[in-house]
Amino acid sequence: MQVAAAPLFAPDCPLSGDPNPGNWGLRGGGDLVVFDWERFCRGAPALDLAAVVPSLGTSTAFLTIAEIYVDTVLMTPGGRVPDASRLAREIVLAKTWNAAELLAGFGPDALSQRPTVEWLRAHFPAWIQETAATTPTPT
């Protein structure tokens, strides 16, 4: 997985780095604005898209988000259009990386994260096996 995920960290495009809904808003004129720039970086779109999929996600959810993203890029002049099945697989890798990063960063002083960590410990292994078996491999 580490080798497969390496392309996620190539400086492909700007990312918010933490696209949860609390970090975004709309200006009075309807323009989208980012409030939290702490994790702003460059990388693969899958890194931000993984956070859009609720919980750990399903193969169907990953493919749906990938297809929506591809359709949006198609409407953007000069946008680089990825293959939806490849992007879905990258979103799975990014979601896995997010969960692993959270688990690795959990320390004894991070008690506020304990319910999330306990939930991940209980569900992550089965999710990995299920997702690996059901997410299409790009051709």
Domain count, the chain: 1
Q: Using the 8-state DSSP alphabet, how is residue 76 labeled?
A: S
Residue 67 lies in a domain: yes
Predicted confidence band at 111 (pLDDT cuts at 50, 70, 90)? low
Structural domain span for residue 111:
2-6+47-134
Predicted confidence band at 106 (pLDDT cuts at 50, 70, 90)? low
Q: What is the pTM of this model?
A: 0.78
135: enclosing H helix or E strand: none
Residue 40 lies in a domain: no
Q: How many helices (H) and strands (E) does the chain have?
A: 5, 4
Residue 42 lies in a domain: no
Indicate the SS3 state at residue 55: coil
Of all residues in the chain, the percent with pLDDT exceeding 70 is 83
* Farthest-apart Cα atoms in the chain, separation: 48
Residue 54 lies in a domain: yes
Predicted confidence band at 121 (pLDDT cuts at 50, 70, 90)? confident
Residue 16 lies in a domain: no
Residue 32 lies in a domain: no
* Average pLDDT of the chain, as a whole number: 82
